[in-house]
Structure 1
Amino acid sequence: MKAVVQNVFGGPETLKIEELPIPEVRPHDLLVRVGAAGVNRADALQRMGRYGRANFGDSELMGLEVAGEVVDLGASVSGYQIGDRVMGIVGGGAYAEFARIDHRMAMPIPRGMDDVRAAAIPEVFVTAHEALFHLGRLEADQSVLVHAAAGGVGSAAVQLAHRAGARIFASTSAEKLQRVLAWGADRVIDYRAESFQQVIDADTDGQGVNLVVDFIGAPYLAANIHSLAEGGRMIQVGILGGGSGGELPLDRVLYRRLSIMGTVMKSRSLEEKCAMVERFSERWLALFDDGRLHPVVDSVYALEDTEAAHRRLESGQAVGKIILSTAALGNDRLAQE
């Protein structure tokens, strides 16, 4: 099979195509002929060596989410059969023509959906659900601030919060404002031209929001804390702006009884990941069947163009997910969801 390999940490140019054996199927595995795979920020961090190791034990190959057709299955698999179309989260190995996935991490592809759009669902929507509802305890009568709202997880978070009936503040760049509004945000903040702290203070009469979902890190820390209502929660999902050097106003944390929690999926145990997938699937998966939720696809690249896909990811220009396709789509297909 063709697969993307990396023999040394570094830039996108370190990603190469090679021929490798098809993965061995273990008792709980589905072997999937990959139609499409999602490109995630975690892939770029892994490529650069930020995790300190090349893989997390499940595969030597990169890639955390797949969509495709089941072609083989292990002896302990239940609920799936050969020929089923599935999507899901893997512990590596998605950047290939075939990948194995623990059947407890798989989900059926929604009705009428192609592999490209299906591959844009698992990682970002499961992460968004975990941040908003399992950890963030967001309810219908509450408010949330979602940063980096035009990104993969951000676009999923805005949609889920909207469907849950929450009031949504979202930060992004000016050229992406209308897209974020279309997904259900109530107030979109141009982070280059406006202070999100001032906007929230004015729009909530100084009360603040119940929840902040942040991907930026240190540069936003103090303003995030000042934007939270009494008893508010902040869920740290990423640190695109850096993880140290931010000011933490502890007096505000104390007097307003605030909570700060971090979440990351890549390094969690299999059991934890399975539970996350199950929580998301039970509440939201059916909503993709009739379009009440939809994956947001920025662009699609052939597997051979993974280097270009990573450069697109790092440009900061993407709206939604970047997808690798094992079909020869090339890198000129742009989906406007």
Structure 2
Amino acid sequence: MKAIQFDAFGDADVLQIREVPEPVLRPTDLLVKVAAAGINRADLSFRNGFYGWADFGDSPLIGLEMAGEVVAVGRDVPGYKVGDRVMGITGGGAYAELARLDYRMALPVPDNLDLVEAAGIMEVFVTAHEALIHLAGLQPGEWALVHAASGGVGSAAVQLAKARGGQVIFTAPGARIDKVKAIGGDVGVDYKTQDFARIVAEITEGRGVDVIVDFIGAPNLERNIRSMNYGGRLVQVGIMGGVADAKLPLDLLLYRHLRIIGTVMKSRDQAVKHAMVQRFGEAWLGHFANGSIRPVIDSSYSLDQAPEAHCRMETGASFGKIILRVP
């Protein structure tokens, strides 16, 4: 089969399409003919050597999510059959013509979605649900602040917060604020020219927001804490801005009874990952089926254009998910 491989860490041009052995089916696996694969920042980190030469459980190849058609079913797999359309999170190997994954990391693709759209759902929406709903417990009527809202997880979090009945303040580049408002954001903040803490204070009349989902890290930490209401919950999903010089106002943490929660999917035990996928599916699969929530797709590239797709993500210009189409 054809798949994307690389021999040395580095820039996007290290990615090459090659013939590689097909994956071997395990008892709890689905073997899927991949139609499309989603690109994630973790893929860029892998390509740059952040994880070393890791095997994430399913394959040493790159790629963590995909959608396609089941072509083989392991002997211990219930509920799936050959020909089913599925979307799922893999432990590597999604940038390929065939991929294997544990059936508990897969969900059926709603009939109203094509497989390119479906390839943009799992990583970002499962992560957004875990942060916003499962860990932070956003309630109807509460205020949420979503950072990096024009990215994959951020745009998913905006949609879930709105569907949950929350009110959403978000940060994004100025040119993408209207796009985020179109998917449910209420108040946009251009993080390049505006101070989100000041705007949060104005909009909430000094009370602050109830939930924050942050991907940036140290540059936002102090202002995040100062932007939180009593009993507020900050969920740290990424640290794209680094960890150096992070300032934590401990007095506010104590007296406002705040919670700071960290989460990342990759380092969790398999049983925890299975639970994350299943509770997301139970909560939201019907919303995708009726069209009230849809994945935000920025662009798609053919499998042999994986370097160009990675470069697109690295520019920071994308809005939503970047997808690789597999012939």
Sort the TM-score into its range (normalised by shorter chain): over 0.9
Matches within 5 A, 1:1-337: 1-327=1-327
Could you say what secondary structure the match of 1:95 adopts?
A: coil
Q: Tell me the secondary structure at the aligned position of residue 245 of structure 2.
A: coil
Pairwise CA distance, 1:55: 2.9
In the aligned structure 1, how far is the partner of 2:6 from the partner of 2:136? 36
- Whole-angstrom CA distance in 2 between matches of 1:259 and 1:46: 31
Distance 1:221 1:174 in 2: 22
Instruction: Determine helix, strand or coil for the equivalent of 2:111.
Output: coil
Pairwise CA RMSD of aligned residues?
A: 0.9
User: What is the deviation of 1:244?
Assistant: 2.4
SS in 1 for 2:17: strand
Provide the C-alpha distance between the structure 1 equivalents of 2:56 and 2:23, rounded to a whole number of angstroms.
16
CA distance in 1, matches of 2:280, 2:11: 33
Runs of 5+ consecutive residues of structure 1 not aligned to the other structure: 328-337
Instruction: Give 1:57 deviation, angstroms.
Output: 3.5
Matched residue pairs, number? 327
Q: Which amino acid aligns with 1:228?
A: M
Comparing 11-20 and 116-125, the one that deviates more: 11-20
Q: What SS class does the counterpart of residue 287 from structure 1 fall into?
A: helix
TM superposition score normalised by structure 1 = 0.95
Unaligned ranges ≥5, structure 2: none
- Percent of matched pairs sharing the same residue: 54
Matched residues in 2 for 1:326 and 1:140: separation?
40
Hey, what's the Cα distance between the residues in 2 that align with 1:123 and 1:253? 30
How far apart in 1 are the matches of 2:302 and 2:97?
A: 11
Once the two structures are superposed, residues 206-235 of structure 1 have per-residue CA deviations (whole angstroms, 9 ceiling, x without a partner) of 110001100111111111110011111100
* Residue aligning to 1:331: none
TM-score when normalising by structure 2: 0.98
- Contact conserved, 2:58 with 2:100, CA < 8 A, in 1? no
Residue deviations 1:136-189, cap 9 Å, x none?
A: 110002110000001000110000000000011010011101110011111111
SS of aligned partner of 1:72: strand
Please identify, of 101-110 and 49-58, the stretch whose mean Cα deviation from structure 2 is larger. 49-58
Mapped partners of 1:287, 1:250: distance in 2: 40
Give the whole-Å Cα distance in 2 for the aligned partners of 1:95 and 1:66: 8
* Cα pair 1:222 1:249 within 8 Å, conserved: yes
Query: CA offset at residue 107 of structure 1?
Result: 0.6
User: Contact 2:53–2:60 at 8 Å: present in 1 too?
Assistant: no
| Counterpart Cα distance in 1 of 2:269 and 2:38 | 21
Task: Return the alpha-carbon distance in structure 1 between the equivalents of residues 109 and 148 of structure 2.
Answer: 27
Please give the alpha-carbon distance, in whole angstroms, between the structure 1 residues aligned to 2:243 and 2:323.
27
The code of the aligned residue for 1:66 comes to: M
Question: What is residue 335 of structure 1 aligned with on the other side?
Answer: none
Contact 1:56 1:267 in 2 (8 A): no
CA distance in 2, matches of 1:10, 1:228: 40
CA distance in 2, matches of 1:115, 1:195: 39
How far has the Cα of 1:56 moved from its partner? 2.3
**One-letter amino acid of the structure 2 residue matched with residue 223 of structure 1:** R
Maintained 8 Å contact 1:55/1:62: no
C-alpha displacement of 1:196: 0.3
SS of the aligned residue for 2:139 comes to: coil
